[in-house]
Amino acid sequence: MPVLTYLPVLPELFGHCQQVGEDTLVGRHVVIATGACHADLGIAGEELLTTSTQFLDLDALPRRIVFGGGGYIAFEFAHIAARAGAKVQVLHRGSRPLEKFDPDLVAMLVQASRELGIEEHVNRAVTAIERQGDHLLVHAHAGAQEHTVEADLVVHAAGRTPEIDKLDLEAAGVAWEKEGVSVNEYLQSVSNPAVYAAGDAVASGGFPLTPVAGMQGDIVARNLLEGNRHTPNYSGIPSVVSGPALHDAPRGHRKLVFLAAGGPPAYGVQDTRRGGDRPHSGGAPVGSARRGGH
């Protein structure tokens, strides 16, 4: 796949000239929408990690699986693996998983996960991974104590970062930060007016959700065509985690969805036999797909 990089050309062309493979493209504006990649953990043996995308491409499920991280990807995939018969552990460096979601509902999910056989450990940061024979050893710290877990597969579920570090943005005078390209309210670069950004590549405060990226892309397109007139509105956008049924219902017929929106969190129980939703605790469930996966 061709890689886009900036060329250190004359100052008046900064932000207008890009190299894609062996081709040089010239335009009045550039939109950076390169998405995100798995966060670099900076630990020994990081190359032995399996990404969430690779997990979905597995031909067969290993017997023992460890998820490094305690976000929605860890729990959703852990339930897939456990229900398929794997022995699953989730190692999370924080004090509780799913930190941005309602604590009471998270506690219910954690309890249901344990009843399914998933081992969930908090305050346990993965520090190294090594191969030993036909299996992997996962080293983790919990305070001053070191723990070692044997696994057949270790899944990276510790977050994603904007995939912009190889674009040589400094050469084009494009300011960026940990969350992405620094932009104004119109999703325009604060340091190079010829550049706009959207999706996981932009630092604008929006949730990393597919509908948010689509909205940002639409706003950037309209601002390019009509001038800077449109701004994103992130209020009332939910983030959903699907998990086990927490009500009395036949297994496999209901699922719980959590919503962490701009207002009070809510949840709903969906009965998959009827395809309907029953809202609870503050609102009707609304699903929003995630990008990439964590």
Q: How many domains does the chain have?
A: 2
Residues 150 and 53 in one domain: yes
Would you give the DSSP letter of residue 215? H
Tell whether 69 is covered by a domain. yes
Phi and psi at residue 58, in whole multiples of 5°?
Answer: -65, 135
Tell whether 283 is covered by a domain. no
Rounded alpha-carbon distances, angstroms, from residue 230 to 138, 215, 233: 48, 11, 10
pLDDT for res 248: 40
Separation CA 117–CA 154 (nearest Å):
17
End-of-domain residue from the set 119, 143, 160:
160
Tell whether 194 is covered by a domain. yes
Tell whether 125 is covered by a domain. yes
Contact yes or no for 274/261 (Cβ under 8 A): no
Residues 204 and 66 in one domain: no
Please give the angle made by the CA atoms of 71, 214 and 283, to the nearest 5 degrees: 60
Residues 174 and 149 in one domain: no
Residues 218 and 145 in one domain: no
CATH number at residue 198: 3.50.50.60
Residues 73 and 167 in one domain: no
pLDDT for res 201: 95
Beta bridge partners of 177: 180
Residues 67 and 133 in one domain: yes
The DSSP annotation for 50-68 comes to BPHHHHHT-SS--SEEEEE
pLDDT for res 104: 87
End-of-domain residue from the set 177, 205, 226:
226
Please give the angle made by the CA atoms of 18, 190 and 220, to the nearest 5 degrees: 65
Residues 200 and 54 in one domain: no
Residues 53 and 76 in one domain: yes
Q: What angle do the packed helices 103-115 and 72-83 form, to 10 degrees? A: 20
Residues 185 and 105 in one domain: no
Alpha helices in 164-253 (DSSP H): 210-226
Per-residue pLDDT of the chain (294 residues; tens, 9 = 90+): 444 444 433 333 344 566 667 777 777 899 999 999 999 999 999 999 999 999 999 999 999 999 999 998 999 999 999 999 999 999 999 999 988 788 888 888 899 899 999 999 999 999 999 999 999 999 999 988 999 999 999 999 998 899 998 888 998 899 999 999 999 999 999 999 999 999 999 999 888 888 899 999 999 999 999 999 999 998 877 766 765 554 444 444 444 444 444 444 444 444 433 443 333 333 333 333 444 444
pLDDT for res 242: 62
Residues 53 and 102 in one domain: yes
Ramachandran assignment for 87, one of left (phi > 0), alpha (psi -120 to 50 degrees), beta (any other): beta
Longest dimension (CA), the chain: 68
Residue 93 belongs to domain spanning: 46-160
Separation CA 121–CA 116 (nearest Å):
15
End-of-domain residue from the set 108, 133, 160:
160
Buried b (16+ CB within 10 A) or exposed e, 134-154: eebbbbbeeeeeeeebebebb
Contact yes or no for 118/110 (Cβ under 8 A): no
Residues 106 and 204 in one domain: no
Residues 121 and 59 in one domain: yes
pLDDT for res 119: 96
Beta bridge partners of 87: 64
Choose among 116, 50, 105, 108: nearest CA to 81.
116
Tell whether 213 is covered by a domain. yes
